[in-house]
Structure 1
Amino acid sequence: MLKGLSIQNFALIDNLKVSFDTGLITITGETGAGKSLLLGALGLLLGKRADPSSVKDSSKKCIIEGSFDVQYYELQSFFEDEDLDYESQTIIRREILPSGKSRAFINDTPVTLQSLSALGDKLIDIHSQHQTLQVASTEFQFEVLDALSATEREIQSYKRGLSLLKRKEKELATLQHNKEQFKKEYDYNFHLLQELQEAKLKEGELEELEETFEQLNNVEEIQEKLSEALAVITAEQLGALEQLNISKLNLAKISGFSSTISALSERMHSVYIELDDISTSLQNELENVEADPELLQKTEDRLNLLNNLLAKHSAATIAELIPIREELQDKVAKTESVSEDIEQLVNEVNEIKSQLDALSLKIHEKRKTALPKLTKELEEILGSLGMVNATFKADLYLKEQYLSNGKDELEFLFSANKGTAYGPLKKVASGGELSRIMLGIKAILSDYAKLPTLIFDEIDTGVSGEIAQKMADLMKRMSKNLQVVSITHLPQIAANGESHFKVYKEDVDNQTTTRLRLLNNEERIREIAEMIDGKNVSDSALVHARSLLHI
């Protein structure tokens, strides 16, 4: 609900502040007094593009601010999504700077025009004769029908399911598209994996094989050199071991004469023991070195295999081949499971479709039940507004395809007069008829949904007499459930307002300024009498005005 509006430095408005109450609020004034300026300011507040030329004094900021009571609109989730502080008394502000740039704020937090517009749509609904074509749109007709059929919970569930279905179908299409490519890569990857698995890779094996190969490939030279080394050490008379033994014995005989000689004797003994041990090891090694052509061939073959794998996979060591093997295992496994994944996704898609079908049918049945009620109530309201022969023919068809709000196709046809063919609203209804139809629909909606502040901008043009009173009564009825603002030229509607404001121009310091003020009872009588009789108000007009106001 709009609680207050402040406008500074906008068009002919210098500084205007006004508070609004609940119920029906009427705004009157002469043509050109500035009623359209109020709507223009509200439009800026609700996110419309700013026009720098609308600023009254281009050296100063233009500021438009509105305060709203939003506690009954369930907007907490909107504020959370926009990362805004939620306040039940929310303030929206729009500024146009002297530079021409504009800024927008919600509860003093800067926001984009998109965010401002999204919130504005939930707070104020402006209707004029130029905007009544909305009633002819299928989307709007579904909104009305769904409000009467109480399908909001089912539709929200349907929309969540439809979003999930689209995501799953996209995943399925991607898998199916890639399946052939996976298949082509599979044979090559499987071959590479088989090679690595059959190789039974072990870290450090390459170094061991290279050592074995060098030994087996040079066995004769190794035997020859070992034999020569062993002969030098163990020859009976000239061998190093025998010569060392002689030296050891000689030193042992004189070791008692000096501590230095004793130490040398011990060292000589240690060398003898070490050389003797070396000779034993040389003998053992010589006995173990044997020519083995078969093992040599196997070693060479294994080395060739491993080196080929290293070259093929651009690896330097066996340790680098192991993660390559694991990666190939993953690719092959993924390829082998793609059919299973596709089958699983197909089952998921079918299950979601089954749930959507059930929801769609439930939504369809609720809508089908509510549709006659909607047309009946609308025809009754239009009859009271002078369209006594207006009738609607509405049909609901359950389709195969999944649409944004179910699987229904709605055909909403209208006939204004007896004997005339039914047709779509936008083709067969006049502007005045569309205005009354929109008024009737909003009146019905106000009984079933919490609507934002509703502003009617002279949709009563061309209406008079009893019809005008019926229209005024209808607005009054609607105002029991929501705040209704009517900018009107009809005295019947003006008199029905619980609050009555007048827009007028005033010359101050050789400048024309638009003003807006709340009228008291006497001022209302005079204003309504002028609406009836013109500036030269007659006594009968004053009496008529008092009767309309029940004063």
Structure 2
Amino acid sequence: MLSSLSIKNYALIDNLQVNFNNGLSIITGETGAGKSILLGGLSLILGKRADLSSLKDTTQKCIIEAVFDVSNYNLKTLFETEDLDYETQTIIRREILPSGKSRAFINDSPVKLSSLQALSERLIDIHSQHQTLQLTSDDFQFQVIDALADNHTLLQQYTKELKDYKKLQKELKSLLVFQAEAIKEYDYNAFLLNELIEANLIEGEQQALEEEYETLNNIEGIQEKLSESYKLLDDEQIGVLTTLTSVKNNLQNISGFSTKYEDLFNRVNSSLIDLNDVFSEIDALQEGLEADPNRLEVVDSKLKTLHNLMQKHLTTEVSELIKIKNELEDKVTTTEHLDDDINKKQAEIETQKTQLKSISKQISENRSKAIPVLKKQLELILKSLGMPNAQFKIEVALVDQFFSNGQDELTFLFSANKGGSFNALKKAASGGELSRIMLAIKSVLSKYVQLPTIMFDEIDTGVSGEISNKMGDIMLQMSKTMQVFSITHLPQIAAKGDAHFKVYKEDVNEVTQTNLVKLNHDERIVEIAQMLGGLEMSSSAIAHAKELLTNN
């Protein structure tokens, strides 16, 4: 509910502050008095873009502030989504600076216009005779039917399941694209992998193979040097082992005389032990050395294979080749198992599709049950509004396609005249008829859902006194469960309001200003009398005005 509205420095408004109550509020005023300015200010609260032309005084900023009671609107989730502090008395403020910049605030938190629009569209609905295109849209027509069908919970569930369904479809598409690319590379990757597998790669083997190759390739020279070394160590006359043994024996004989001699003995003895080990190893190496041209060829071939693979894969280590082999194995294995992954994903999609169809069917069945109720109520209301032959033809049919709100295709046709053909609303109804249809729909909706504050802007233009009286009754009935504003030129409607506001112009210091004032009972009599008979009020006009107010 709109509790209060404050407008400063906007168009012809210098400073306006007004409070509103629930129920039906009437706004009247002469043509050109500034009712459109009031609506323009409200539209800024709804998130409309602003410019410098909105400023009355271009040296001062324009401030428009509205306070809404949102306690009955179930908006906590929206506040959380928009990261806003939830207050039952929510304040929306727009500021237009002299620089042309515009700022928006919700409960003193700065917000983008998108956030402002998301909230304000749940708070207030401004409807004029020129804004009936909404009636002709499938989305709006479905919203009306779903309200009567009580499909809110089902549609929430459907939206979640549809999101999951589209996610699965996206994942399947990615898998298929990946498979198409992987198949192109599969043969080449498999060939590269096979080369690396056949190479029988062992980490660290390159150095061992190179050493073995050098040994086998130089075996005669190695044998010759080992043999010479063996003889130098083992010669009975001048062999190193024989000589060192003699030195050891000599030092052992004098080691008891001094620790110095004992240390020398120990060092020589240690060297002799090491040299004996060397001698034994040389002997063993000689025994194990044997020319093996076949092995040399095998080692050479393996080294050439490693060298070629390293060149191909731009590496310098066998460990890097092993890493590449593992990566290729993953790619090849993944490609080989993609069919299984795709089949699994397709099965998940089919399961999700079945679930969606089940919910869609339930939504459609509820709609089919609600349509006769909606049709009957609309035609009854329109009959009272001077359209006795108005008829609707509304049908839903399940199709094999998932829309944002189910699987139904909607036929929403209208005929205004008896025996006339049914056509789409925009073709079958005039502007005035569309306004009455919208009023009828909003009236029906108000019985089933909590509607935002609604402001009817002269939708009664061009209707007769009796029909306007019925329109006023409908607005009054709607105002029992919601806040309703009606900007009107008709006294029959003006008299039905719980509160009556007048928009007027006045000149202050030779500057024209627009103001809005709440009328008391006597002032309402005068205003309605002037609406009935003009500025020259007759006694009969005053009497008629009193009668209208008394009967309402």
TM range (shorter): over 0.9
Aligned equivalents of 1:309, 1:391: Cα separation in 2: 83
Preserved contact between residue 234 and residue 240 of structure 1 (Cα < 8 Å): yes
Aligned equivalents of 2:60, 2:447: Cα separation in 1: 45
Residue correspondence of structure 1 range 289-368 to structure 2 within 5 A: 289-368=289-368
In structure 1, the residue matched to 2:227 is: 227
The amino acid of 1:3's aligned partner reads S
Aligned equivalents of 2:205, 2:223: Cα separation in 1: 25
Preserved contact between residue 397 and residue 410 of structure 1 (Cα < 8 Å): yes
Aligned equivalents of 2:533, 2:257: Cα separation in 1: 155
CA deviation string 1:244-295 (max 9, x = no partner): 4445555556667777566555554554444444333322322222223333
Change (3 A) 1:277 1:438: closer
| Secondary structure of 2:57 counterpart | coil
In structure 2, the residue matched to 1:429 is: 429
Q: Which moved more, 1:4-13 or 1:185-194?
A: 185-194
Preserved contact between residue 212 and residue 299 of structure 1 (Cα < 8 Å): yes
Unpaired runs of 5+ residues, structure 1, are none
CA deviation string 1:173-206 (max 9, x = no partner): 3322342321121122122223333434322222
Per the TM alignment, residue 50 of structure 1 is displaced from its structure 2 partner at its CA by 0.6
Q: Which moved more, 1:472-481 or 1:227-236?
A: 227-236
Change (3 A) 1:24 1:265: closer
The amino acid of 1:402's aligned partner reads F
Change (3 A) 1:112 1:223: same
Residue 380 (str. 1) matches residue 380 (str. 2): yes
Q: TM-score w.r.t. structure 1 length?
A: 0.95
In structure 2, the residue matched to 1:138 is: 138
Change (3 A) 1:51 1:266: closer
Q: Which moved more, 1:431-440 or 1:146-155?
A: 146-155
In structure 2, the residue matched to 1:174 is: 174
In structure 2, the residue matched to 1:215 is: 215
Aligned equivalents of 1:270, 1:396: Cα separation in 2: 105
| Secondary structure of 1:353 counterpart | helix
| Secondary structure of 1:177 counterpart | helix
Preserved contact between residue 505 and residue 512 of structure 1 (Cα < 8 Å): yes
In structure 2, the residue matched to 1:420 is: 420
Aligned equivalents of 1:243, 1:279: Cα separation in 2: 14
In structure 1, the residue matched to 2:524 is: 524
Q: Which moved more, 1:484-493 or 1:295-304?
A: 295-304
CA deviation string 1:158-180 (max 9, x = no partner): 22222222222232233223423
In structure 2, the residue matched to 1:18 is: 18
Aligned equivalents of 2:414, 2:251: Cα separation in 1: 135
| Secondary structure of 1:550 counterpart | helix
Per the TM alignment, residue 429 of structure 1 is displaced from its structure 2 partner at its CA by 0.8
In structure 1, the residue matched to 2:62 is: 62
In structure 2, the residue matched to 1:401 is: 401
Residue correspondence of structure 1 range 176-191 to structure 2 within 5 A: 176-191=176-191
Per the TM alignment, residue 333 of structure 1 is displaced from its structure 2 partner at its CA by 1.6
Change (3 A) 1:400 1:258: closer
Aligned equivalents of 1:341, 1:262: Cα separation in 2: 80
Change (3 A) 1:213 1:534: same
CA deviation string 1:501-550 (max 9, x = no partner): 11111221111111111111111111111111111111221121111111
| Secondary structure of 2:131 counterpart | helix
The amino acid of 1:488's aligned partner reads T
Q: Which moved more, 1:467-476 or 1:316-325?
A: 316-325
Q: TM-score w.r.t. structure 2 length?
A: 0.95
In structure 2, the residue matched to 1:497 is: 497
Give the ranges of 4+ consecutive aligned residues of structure 1 lying more than 6 Å apart after TM superposition: 254-259
Aligned equivalents of 1:389, 1:269: Cα separation in 2: 130
Q: Which moved more, 1:146-155 or 1:56-65?
A: 146-155
CA deviation string 1:192-236 (max 9, x = no partner): 223333434322222222222222222211111111112122222
The amino acid of 2:19's aligned partner reads S
In structure 2, the residue matched to 1:535 is: 535
Per the TM alignment, residue 432 of structure 1 is displaced from its structure 2 partner at its CA by 0.8
The amino acid of 2:132's aligned partner reads T
Change (3 A) 1:256 1:159: closer
Per the TM alignment, residue 405 of structure 1 is displaced from its structure 2 partner at its CA by 1.3
Change (3 A) 1:506 1:331: same
Aligned equivalents of 1:202, 1:117: Cα separation in 2: 67
Change (3 A) 1:498 1:310: same
CA deviation string 1:470-490 (max 9, x = no partner): 111110000011100000111
In structure 2, the residue matched to 1:84 is: 84
Residue 480 (str. 1) matches residue 480 (str. 2): yes
Residue 45 (str. 1) matches residue 41 (str. 2): no
Residue 30 (str. 1) matches residue 19 (str. 2): no
Unpaired runs of 5+ residues, structure 2, are none
In structure 1, the residue matched to 2:73 is: 73
Change (3 A) 1:511 1:292: same
Change (3 A) 1:505 1:230: same
Preserved contact between residue 104 and residue 111 of structure 1 (Cα < 8 Å): yes
Preserved contact between residue 464 and residue 490 of structure 1 (Cα < 8 Å): no
Aligned equivalents of 1:224, 1:242: Cα separation in 2: 22
| Secondary structure of 1:131 counterpart | coil
In structure 2, the residue matched to 1:471 is: 471
Aligned equivalents of 1:263, 1:133: Cα separation in 2: 114
In structure 2, the residue matched to 1:163 is: 163
Per the TM alignment, residue 37 of structure 1 is displaced from its structure 2 partner at its CA by 0.8
Aligned equivalents of 2:543, 2:240: Cα separation in 1: 149
In structure 1, the residue matched to 2:119 is: 119
Preserved contact between residue 219 and residue 291 of structure 1 (Cα < 8 Å): yes
Change (3 A) 1:8 1:242: same
In structure 2, the residue matched to 1:457 is: 457
Per the TM alignment, residue 406 of structure 1 is displaced from its structure 2 partner at its CA by 1.4
Change (3 A) 1:462 1:210: same
Residue 151 (str. 1) matches residue 151 (str. 2): yes
- Paired-residue identity, %: 57
Residue 278 (str. 1) matches residue 278 (str. 2): yes
| Secondary structure of 1:47 counterpart | coil
Q: CA RMSD for the aligned pairs?
A: 2.0
Preserved contact between residue 12 and residue 513 of structure 1 (Cα < 8 Å): yes
Per the TM alignment, residue 335 of structure 1 is displaced from its structure 2 partner at its CA by 0.4
Residue correspondence of structure 1 range 253-268 to structure 2 within 5 A: 264=264, 267-268=267-268
Preserved contact between residue 63 and residue 95 of structure 1 (Cα < 8 Å): yes
Aligned equivalents of 2:199, 2:101: Cα separation in 1: 72
Q: Which moved more, 1:303-312 or 1:242-251?
A: 242-251
CA deviation string 1:79-111 (max 9, x = no partner): 111111111111100111011111111111111
In structure 2, the residue matched to 1:443 is: 443
Aligned equivalents of 1:183, 1:150: Cα separation in 2: 50
